[in-house]
């Protein structure tokens, strides 16, 4: 009996497909785009983490980091659409590269929260740009399949920006006391560990 349970668990662990936010269903219009970043835990954690990191750094970074992410996500979305429509042969390769980029965004943003302002803002901006591009590519490749791609894209960008603001609010409140700051850093480690589990 125990052997059957162990074998069942291992088969679920190693032979199931990875869970992510990239499905080709539910892409009708603005509302679907708005809810899309929230429904995938990898996206949700990455988007909120961007806002938290920007709040931890403070100053102009509170708006420049999230704005850079959204801008690069839009650029990535355009490139993703072009790949899907004109370079369909590359779709599988781009998809796997993008998935790894998204997983690494969860890991590295979680670590950035955990070590709290130990990384220079310029390096954070470079990583934010790469991660924004990866998230944009993932959903850009979905957009040609949407019923209304423009409304879906506007909803997705709005949903992402909302999650960034949510993260900024969490970060701004958490850095006010030493205890809440420590809790936030532990949460950052938790995000990183979750990202590592996705990678495995």
pLDDT in tens, 154-169: 888 888 999 999 999 9
Q: Is the pLDDT of residue 111 over 70?
A: yes
- Residue 4: count other Cβ atoms within 10 Å of its Cβ: 8
- Burial level of 65, CB count in 10 A (0-12/13-18/19+)? buried
CA 67 to chain centre: 14
| pLDDT value at residue 200 | 79
Phi–psi pair at 146, nearest 5 degrees: -75, 150
In this predicted model, what pLDDT tens digit does every residue of 143-199 receive, in sequence order?
Answer: 777 777 788 888 888 889 999 999 999 999 998 888 999 999 999 999 999 999 988
pTM over 0.95: no
99, 91 Cβ separation under 8 angstroms:
no
How far apart CA 190 and CA 187 sit, in angstroms, is 5
Count of residues for the chain? Answer: 200
How far apart CA 96 and CA 135 sit, in angstroms, is 12
Name the average pLDDT for the chain. 82
């Amino acid at each position: 009996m125990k052997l059957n349970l162990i074998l069942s668990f291992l088969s679920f662990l190693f032979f199931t497909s990875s869970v992510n936010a990239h499905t080709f269903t539910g892409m009708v219009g603005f509302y679907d785009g708005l809810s899309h970043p929230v429904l995938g835990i990898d996206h949700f954690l990455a988007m909120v983490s961007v806002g938290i990191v920007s709040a931890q750094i403070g100053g102009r970074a509170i708006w420049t980091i999230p704005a850079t992410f959204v801008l690069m996500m839009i650029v990535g979305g355009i490139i993703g659409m072009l790949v899907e429509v004109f370079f369909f042969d590359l779709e599988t390769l781009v998809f796997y590269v993008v998935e790894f980029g998204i997983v690494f965004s969860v890991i590295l943003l979680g670590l950035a929260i955990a070590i709290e302002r130990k990384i220079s803002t310029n390096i954070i901006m470079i990583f934010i740009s790469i991660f924004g591009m990866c998230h944009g590519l993932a959903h850009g490749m979905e957009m040609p399949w949407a019923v209304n791609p423009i409304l879906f894209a506007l909803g997705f960008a709005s949903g992402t920006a909302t999650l960034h603001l949510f993260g900024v609010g969490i970060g701004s409140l958490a850095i006010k006391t030493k205890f809440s700051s420590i809790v936030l850093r532990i949460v950052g480690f938790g995000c990183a560990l979750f990202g590592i589990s996705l990678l495995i």
